[in-house]
Each structure stands twice: as structure tokens, then as C-alpha cells.
Amino acid sequence: MTAIPCIDLFAGPGGLGEGLSSFTRSDERQVFRIKLSIEKDEHAHRTLELRAFFRQFDPEEVPEGYYDYLAGRISRHDLFAQHPSQAETARKEAWWAELGSSRTPHSTVDERIRVALGTATKWILIGGPPCQAYSTVGRSRIRGASEEKYENDKRHFLYKEYLRILAAHKPPVFVMENVKGLLSATVKQQSIFQRILRDLTQPIAAIAGRRPTNGLKYRLVSIVKSQGNLLGEFEPEDFIVRAEDFGIPQARHRVIILGVREDICKQSRILTPSPGATIDEVIGDLPRLRSGLSREADSAGAWCDAVREVTSTRWFSNGDVTDDVRAAIASAARRVGRHSTKGAEYLDGGTTPASHQSWFGDPRLDGIINHATRGHIREDLHRYLFAAAFAKTRGRSPLLQDFPKALLPKHKNVREALKETKFNDRFRVQLAGRPSTTVVSHISRDGHYFIHYDPTQCRSLTVREAARLQTFPDNYFFEGPRTQQYKQVGNAVPPLLARQLAEILADLLS
């Protein structure tokens, strides 16, 4: 049996495609194969292309050169030169292009899709238009600059590119993913989500701007609720998927719409709930690291001294900290070690998480990739130590009101948050024993919302730790500068969730 082709739009680093590609039949044969993935970001595209190359081989036949590249022993050019046929296929699969741009004409997109599909009539369209304009934080930031800028943001209507491809190529099934904020987003006082749902049911009519009674139609179904209302329609909230309910170690709530062409009469299944993993079960095995010390000379000794300095501060001893938190801070300060490392893009030595071992692990990967910390200023080290110690003691992340006044940043928005209790969780610790909060692209800007639960490490999460929470396999390498790696991870769909979705799609198309 031939694998079912998939076309991935707005692919990011490929989380959705990775999940579908990893799903196999009982005989270990691949059910879905990505034939074309389109992404505009240069670094995400390089990540996509490298993973496309990796998937050209059966798992046990991945060349040793791939692992040499991860370890930095050979260049990407040399790796591809050793396997020119597979490299060329990967280049054709991963296309660096911007949908909705004049630089990428519709005719070119359509031709690439036709070539990728060949004669296949059973295939799947997947992807999610960029979501920054729909997210709650994104809307607040853009509207804060200008209401007109928000109303005219072209990202509101990038879903029309998805819609146009639906209308032109008529896939039997499609999957569209986006942020939960899409449900409440409006433009010119009209619900964007209701408009998207209406357009997706009749894409040709939506493109033409009219409502005929015949033509291409899709029914939109939820993957977490088996039935809609009396009319068979689903409410907007029915499309929200809570990833932590399905074994993902992250409280990630996203909108996922499954569209089924009207001529396909088979009823689709829904995801099966499973116990969620916790953050410490998936990152607790990774090597302990220290952060860097920024804006001053950095060394292991200087970093340790900066952390231990907390116990000599006035706020530590003058009653601004409760006895239980003070004891936790003192204990952590004593246990920081001068031998600690900041990590690297490749660290020798394998490791195995307590949860999802077979999913994350690769016995041929004798190292850890993308596991390097970033630098923090001395004051933030003190805040991270306080926050992690507070969380360990109290079982919750501290709010700004819980911080000693001397530790609070002297920012206007901090003063406003203290008054209005809005964004008063500016420093958020990821709590051991629970799923993490949502890993978002903002992790690329600073680590304040992603503080490690271990007070002795006194730092934000690494790219690899964030990737674990997103359930990317350990041999999935993120290209580009660290800031871009974080952004790719934060924008992705958890591959392990996508793999569960693949089971629904395979059954629907069987």
C-alpha cells in the first residue's frame, strides 16, 4: 500500500507533519508521507529540510553522517553531498516560500502541489495560518500600537490562502490548527472564527463571494467531541483541544478543525484521553545546567557567587521573605556548584526521560542537542532563585505581590500590574509534578515565563527542554540562532498529539 500524501502549509518547523509521518501500520509501514511543506521563515525551513532528509531513510538506516552533523563533526553541505538523491528529495519536499506574497504566485503554488501529489486522489491538506494576530497577547500588543493597524493586519486573512488551495485542489480531508484566541478575535466587530467556519464549509463559494447550493462542501468536525448540536453542527468551543488531556506534558489549548469532504460518508473518530505527563517526567533526566551571567564577566565561579549573593541581601534577612521560602533559598544557594556547565548545541552522553521513552529516544544518538542556556542579568538570577524556591515551597508560582519589593523590576508595567493584577505573573515557574504552561514563541524574547523548577539551576528552559515539552523527538534538530530555535519550538504543533490525530485520519480514509 502506498503512503497517503500530505501537503503542509505554513509548516513552521514541521510538528504536524512529524506526527503524521511517524504513524505506522501494524507492519511498521508508513501511513502518511509529507510530499510538500511550505514555510516562509528561513531558519524553520532549514529545520524542515533537514528533517525531510532524515525521513528519507528507514529509522535503522539513517546514515551515521546525520549524527555526525548533529555533533558538529561534519557540515550540512558534506552530509547532503554524501547522500545526493535523498538530499534532492528533501529539497523538493521542503519549500522556502511565503504564501500570500506576490513573490509566490498562485500558479507556482498550484503547480508545486500538483507535482507533489502526482496521480493521488486520496491525500490530506494540513497546516495553520500564522496566529500572532489572533492570540490574546498579540491582539493586545497590536491594538496597543494602533487600532487601525490591528484591523488591517494582513495576517487576519492568511487563512484565505489555505481556503484558496482547498478550493483549487479539493482534498478529501483537511486539518487546520490555530490558537485558542481565534475564537474571540474580531475584525470590524465581526467574529473571525465564525467567518472562517462558514468559509471552510464552502471554499469555492467563499472565494467567489457567493453562496450557491451546490459545489464543493466540507463538514467540519471536532476531534474531541463525537457529536454536534441538533443540526449536527459543532459549537466553537468544541474545536478546542486540550493537549494535557492526551498525554502531552503541556497545558496547550489550541483550535483544531477537521474538515471532511461531503462525499466521504464515514464517521470520524475522536482522540482517546490518556494520562498527562508532567514537566519533570520529560525534562528531569537532562543534564543540570547553569545560566550565563550577562552584562558582566561570566564564569562558573562568578555565576555561583552571584547566586549565593542572595543570602547577603537586605531583603533576604529583614523579614520580606517568609521562613519557609528563606530556608529553600538558602538550601539552593548552598548547593550550586562551580563545576556546572551552560550546555551546548551538542553535549556528549545519552539520557532517557521517565515518560514517553520510546517516543523521545534514539539509541544511535549518543548525545543531547539544542541544550544550551542563555544569559541572565544578576538581578534576574536573584528573582529566578526566589521564584523557584517559592514555587517549590508553596506549590504555585509567585505573583508580583509575593516578591520582596527590592526584587521587583523598576518598570512602569510592573507598577501597573501591581495595581490592576493584570500580567502579575511576570515571573512564572514551571512547576514540578504538573504539565508545563503553554510553550509559546515569546519564549524567544526572555525566559521570565519559563523558569526551571529546580532552584539550584536558577535559569529559564533551554530549547531542548521546550522541545521535550512540545514532544519533539530527541534527534529533531532545530536550525538557526538560539532565538530562532525557541521561536520555532513555540510555534509548533506537538508531534505526539499530531500522531494521535493521524490515527483518526487513517481510519477516516481507510
**Rounded CA separation 282/276 (Å):** 11
Confidence of residue 199 (pLDDT cuts 50, 70, 90): very high
How far lies 500's CA from each of 20, 183, 271, 444, 507, in Å? 8, 24, 7, 28, 11
Q: Give the range with max mean pLDDT: 183-197, 305-319, 335-349.
A: 305-319
Domain locations in the chain? 4-277+492-509, 279-491
Region 446-454: what's the mean pLDDT? Answer: 93
Mean pLDDT rounded to a whole number for the chain? 90
Is the whole model's pTM more than 0.75, yes or no?
Answer: yes
pLDDT at 353 over 90: yes
Secondary structure, 3-state, 4-59: EEEEEECCCCCHHHHHHHCCECCCCCECEEEEEEEECCHHHHHHHHHHHHHCCCCH
Question: What is the Cα 214 distance to its own chain's centre?
Answer: 38
Q: Model confidence over 386-437: pLDDT tens digits?
A: 999 999 999 999 999 999 999 988 766 666 655 565 566 789 999 999 999 9
Q: Model confidence over 114-132: pLDDT tens digits?
A: 999 999 999 999 999 885 5
Helix %, strand %, coil % of the chain (to 5)? 45, 15, 40
**Least confident segment among 134-138, 209-213, 409-413:** 134-138
**Domain covering 4-277+492-509, topology:** Rossmann fold (3.40.50)
Percent of the chain's residues with pLDDT above 70: 90
Long-range contacts of 83-91 (CB under 8 A, 24+ apart): 83/53, 83/56, 86/53, 86/56, 86/57, 87/53, 89/52, 89/56, 90/49, 90/50, 90/52, 90/53, 90/56, 91/49
Closest CA to 389 of 337, 456, 338, 340: 456
Is the distance from CB of 218 to CB of 201 less than 8 angstroms? yes
**Least confident segment among 28-32, 64-68, 72-76, 407-411:** 407-411
Q: Model confidence over 460-499: pLDDT tens digits?
A: 999 999 999 999 999 999 999 999 999 999 999 999 999 9
Cβ count near 225 (within 10 Å): 15
Percent of the chain's residues with pLDDT above 90: 75
Closest CA to 281 of 465, 103, 27, 90: 465
Q: Give the range with max mean pLDDT: 122-126, 179-183, 261-265, 412-416.
A: 122-126
Q: What is the DSSP letter of 451?
A: B
pLDDT at 228 over 80: no
